[in-house]
């Protein structure tokens, strides 16, 4: 037993140091210490994001522990990617290249400190790693193999200083081509030193339980006007699967990025980080519907389940439920107490026409522009005129009024806000378990700066739909707005994991979290990625300007401010909406001050 006051436990340990530290200090100790301080702050932020803690950081060493070995290795890979990009901007003789070792072992805990062979082995693994690289023990490898999208090189057993038994060592090789070099008998070069983006599905680990991506069902009717029906069917199956908290369901936004493309199932699964992929087709005639569905295990390429349905169109409600339940059963899942779906979609009148109007409205609303938003509202109003007791359209109708505010297309913001509030109240009075209604309610509270109520509404939405990426994203940004960006990052990254090809606002939320933490370089990287996909995104341009200014890169800040004014010569800080939402007045004033310094007025 350890001495009194001490206790033993199993933990994941990360040890890091700088290769060639003595040389760097000898050449320029002041510059090395300054650089080391900055790097250590960045690494500490990564460790906290991955739910770890820094135990000690003497000199060039850093020791951290994690409750999850998966988090420890993920953190090591992301840190090395980020540090490699920072080093690329420095002369070769001034780069701080870290070596990292990760071990899963027994430690003795004394207050905040940890000791023992578990720590010593992590330090020895670190010494075996090449600059910019990661070595892990066999115990770590056994835990993470197949759970992280990484490759490994087996270095065999190594005898290391002060450890009695040889240690099984693996080198982390995150890019497949490195493994190919090794198997060909060539000397492998570590590829750890690469930028790991804030999002990027091929870097995602598989969840512990079943994970599913439902690709958009192909419209086989030959009529493009019927796309809304096949898309609606897909969305409803995704929605039905999503209520099961034991399933991990990739969001519609990401799976629909493959719409109309010829894809390989295993490539899609890798890119989205899912084990199972659902494919299907729909052929709708005047009164019949034919649907084919297949569920594929991407790990093996085998068909787990498939079926073909030929039914009366009037039975489409029950058919959607049947397909959803069959998919759940095929992956060993079933609904648990309190989870329900299907009946929410059925109009009380049983009218197929009313249901079709809801599907059309959803298709229009997802296009997120002024004209289609108006068409969505028209379809919803017509549906409710035919069946005013139909609960589902009310939350969608509220959403269209909220979108008028977001798109700045409302003739009267006060009226739009009042209409959104009225319809949400109606939706919740009819169905308090409406996930979408609570999500819209949360955003309405944000507009009124009632952040505590907004957080409660978002948390309620997540409780109703554990796979609701939007709710996680908005909850994360609420923590940003209330001064808790570290907490915000956790939820935003959860949203990105569920929606690995994320909409721009997820990345804008993430960039703002980095801004609040003073991680301006990371924020700039995120905003640049938004602009790569949408060069005229005004919010990203303005936020990029503010972050360059906050980072002291005034020339780049002025250049971005000029781009803002090129796109909108009438732009003024009155149009900068972010400060209007921030609870911390001083933070809002700092943000505006950065924009003024860059040249915006």
Q: What is the mean pLDDT of residues 25-47?
A: 84
**Residue 469 in this model has a pLDDT that exceeds 50:** yes
| Averaged confidence pLDDT in the chain | 85
**Side-chain-side CA neighbours of residue 377 (13 Å):** 18
Position 468 pLDDT exceeds 90: yes
pLDDT at 344 (0 to 100): 60
Structural tokens at position 96 = 């701080």
* CB 330, CB 297: distance < 8 Å: no
Contact (CB, 8 A) for 120 and 108 = no
Which tens digits make up the pLDDT trace of 393-409?
A: 999 999 999 988 887 78
Q: Is the pLDDT of residue 315 over 80?
A: yes
Nearest residue to 47 via CA among 70, 67, 69, 64: 64
pLDDT in tens, 73-113: 999 998 998 888 788 777 777 788 999 999 999 889 887 88
Contact 319, 289 (CB under 8 A): yes
Burial class of residue 119 in the structure, from the number of CB atoms within 10 Å of its CB (0-12 exposed, 13-18 middle, 19+ buried): buried
Angle, CA of 372, 377 and 382, to the nearest 5°: 125
Residue 6's pLDDT band, with cuts at 50, 70 and 90, is low
pLDDT at 66 over 60: yes
pLDDT in tens, 407-452: 778 889 899 999 999 999 999 999 898 889 999 999 999 988 899 9
Q: Which residue has the higher pLDDT, 411 or 343?
A: 411
* Per-residue pLDDT at 188: 32
Question: Looking at per-residue confidence, does 143 or 423 come out higher?
Answer: 423
Encoding tokens for residue 246?
Answer: 């034991």
Report d(CA 246, CA 542) in Å as an integer: 40
Give dist(CA 207, CA 327) in Å, integer. 18
More reliable by pLDDT, 62 or 176: 62
For range 381-386, the mean pLDDT: 94
Give SS3 for 55.
strand
Query: pLDDT at position 492, please?
Result: 96
Q: Does 340 have pLDDT greater than 90?
A: no
The average pLDDT across 579-583 equals 71
SS3 596: helix
Three-state secondary structure call for residue 297: strand
CB 232 within 8 A of CB 363: yes
Given this model, what pLDDT does residue 191 score?
Answer: 35
pLDDT of res. 5: 55
Between the alpha carbon of residue 76 and those of residues 101, 122, 362, 392, 510, the distances in Å are 9, 13, 42, 45, 20
pTM over 0.85: no
What the chain holds in terms of domains, given with CATH numbers, is 7-196 (3.30.70.1230), 206-340 (3.40.50.10610)
pLDDT digits (tens, 9 = 90+) for 166-193: 899 999 985 533 333 332 333 333 334 3
Look-up of token digits 């057993």: 157
The C-alpha atoms of residue 272 and residue 204 are separated, in whole angstroms, by 8
CA distance 276 to 489: 27
């Amino acid at each position: 037993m350890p001495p009194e006051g001490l206790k033993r436990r199993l933990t994941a340990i990360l040890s890091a140091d700088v290769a060639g530290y003595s040389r760097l200090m000898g050449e320029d100790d002041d510059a090395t210490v300054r650089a080391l301080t900055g790097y250590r702050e960045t690494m500490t932020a990564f460790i906290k994001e991955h739910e770890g803690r820094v135990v000690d950081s003497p000199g060039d060493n850093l020791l951290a522990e994690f409750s999850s070995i998966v988090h420890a290795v993920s953190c090591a890979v992301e840190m090395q990617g980020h540090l490699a990009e920072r080093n690329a901007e420095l002369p070769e003789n001034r780069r701080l290249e870290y070596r990292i070792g990760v071990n899963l072992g027994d430690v003795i805990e004394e207050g905040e400190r940890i000791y023992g062979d578990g720590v010593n082995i992590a330090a020895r693994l670190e010494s075996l790693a090449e600059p910019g690289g990661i070595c892990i023990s066999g115990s770590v490898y056994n835990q993470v193999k197949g759970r992280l999208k990484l490759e490994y090189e087996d270095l065999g057993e190594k005898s290391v200083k002060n450890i009695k038994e040889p240690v099984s060592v693996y080198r982390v090789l995150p890019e497949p081509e490195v493994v190919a070099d090794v198997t060909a008998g060539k000397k492998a070069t570590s590829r750890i030193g690469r930028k790991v983006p804030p999002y990027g599905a091929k870097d995602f680990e598989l969840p512990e339980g079943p994970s599913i991506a439902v690709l958009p069902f192909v419209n086989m009717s030959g009529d493009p006007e019927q796309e809304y029906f096949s898309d609606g069917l897909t969305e409803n199956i995704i929605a039905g699967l999503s209520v099961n908290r034991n399933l991990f369901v990739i969001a519609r936004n990401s799976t629909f990025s493959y719409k109309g493309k010829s894809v390989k199932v295993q490539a899609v699964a890798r890119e989205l980080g899912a084990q199972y992929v659902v494919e299907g087709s729909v052929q709708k005639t005047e009164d019949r519907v034919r649907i084919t569905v297949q569920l594929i295990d991407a790990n093996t390429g085998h068909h787990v389940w498939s079926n073909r349905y030929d039914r009366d169109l009037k039975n489409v409600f029950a058919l959607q439920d049947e397909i959803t339940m069959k998919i759940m059963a095929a992956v060993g899942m079933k609904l648990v107490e309190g989870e329900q779906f299907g009946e929410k979609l059925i109009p009380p009148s049983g009218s197929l026409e009313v249901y079709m109007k809801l599907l059309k409205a959803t298709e229009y609303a997802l296009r997120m522009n002024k004209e289609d938003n108006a068409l969505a509202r028209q379809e919803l109003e017509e549906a409710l005129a035919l069946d005013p007791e139909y609960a589902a359209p009310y939350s969608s109708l509220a959403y269209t009024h909220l979108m008028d505010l977001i798109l700045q297309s409302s003739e009267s913001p006060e009226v739009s806000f009042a209409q959104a509030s009225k319809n949400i109240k109606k939706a919740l009075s009819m169905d308090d378990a409406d996930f979408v209604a609570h999500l819209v309610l949360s955003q309405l509270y944000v507009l009124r700066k009632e952040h505590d109520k907004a957080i409660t509404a978002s948390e309620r939405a997540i409780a109703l739909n554990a796979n609701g990426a939007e709710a996680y994203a908005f909850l994360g940004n609420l923590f940003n707005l209330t001064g808790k960006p570290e907490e915000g990052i956790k939820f935003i990254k959860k949203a990105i994991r569920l929606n690995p090809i994320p909409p721009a606002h997820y990345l804008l939320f993430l960039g703002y979290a980095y801004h609040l933490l003073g991680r301006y370089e990371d924020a700039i990287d995120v905003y640049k990625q938004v602009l790569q996909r949408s060069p005229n995104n005004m919010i990203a341009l303005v936020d990029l300007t503010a972050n360059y200014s906050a980072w002291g890169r005034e020339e780049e800040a002025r250049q971005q401010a000029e781009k803002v004014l090129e796109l909108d010569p009438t732009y003024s800080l009155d149009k900068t909406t972010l400060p209007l939402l921030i609870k911390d007045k001083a933070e809002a004033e700092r943000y505006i001050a950065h924009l003024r310094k860059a040249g915006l007025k």
